[in-house]
Amino acid sequence: MVKSENGSGFMSHRTEDVVLEVSITVNGTAHRSQVEPRTLLVHHLRENLGLTGTHVGCDTGYCGACTVIVDGRAVKSCSMLAVQADGAEVRTVEGVADGDELHPVQEGFWECHGLQCGFCTPGMIMSSVALLESNPDPSEEEIRHGIEGNLCRCTGYHNIVKSVQFAGARMRGEEVSS
């Protein structure tokens, strides 16, 4: 008769209360915080800094709902430790609008029905912002490849692509209509 146990039996390595201090500037505001080394950046943003616009949709860095821009690079904040972002400038969905004025990418998503349930949207917006900042006039194929690290279950991406096209045109100063 086979018997097997299920608990991994691993005692988590807990050096007496390892906490480190990190300084991270988020959307222009400097935050100094104490974190455990294992704290993921996304949990730091959501739970310590109260910025719940950045979402968690998977465990393995596939869905992109947690996408934020760190020092100008769009990254997945669920696959990054908060300590790795020490000293960095982080932009989240809460920081892309200019005061009351929506970012053109936000306008595009609203105008073109680029969201349904809205859960993937913050990450999708951050990837789109990063894409358009590096490639102001992407083709449909470049848009589709540019956001392939962000999964959406609602839209089939059809209107997301249109949203990014709308935003790109607006950022280039072109007349746009949905």
CA distances from 46 to 40, 54, 128, 172, 173 (A): 10, 7, 21, 33, 35
Beta carbons within 10 angstroms of residue 115's beta carbon:
20
Q: Which among 83, 81, 91, 157 is positioned nearest to 124, based on CA atoms?
A: 157
Which residue number, 25 or 84, has a Cβ lying nearer to other proteins? 84
Token output for 113: 């029905």
Which residue number, 173 or 177, has a Cβ lying nearer to other proteins? 177
Minimum Å gap between C-beta 111 and other proteins is 7
Instruction: Please compute Rg for the chain using Cα positions.
Output: 19
Minimum Å gap between C-beta 23 and other proteins is 13
CA 171, 118, 73: angle at the middle one, nearest 5?
Answer: 50
Minimum Å gap between C-beta 104 and other proteins is 11
Which residue number, 33 or 84, has a Cβ lying nearer to other proteins? 84
Token output for 54: 């950045």
Minimum Å gap between C-beta 93 and other proteins is 4
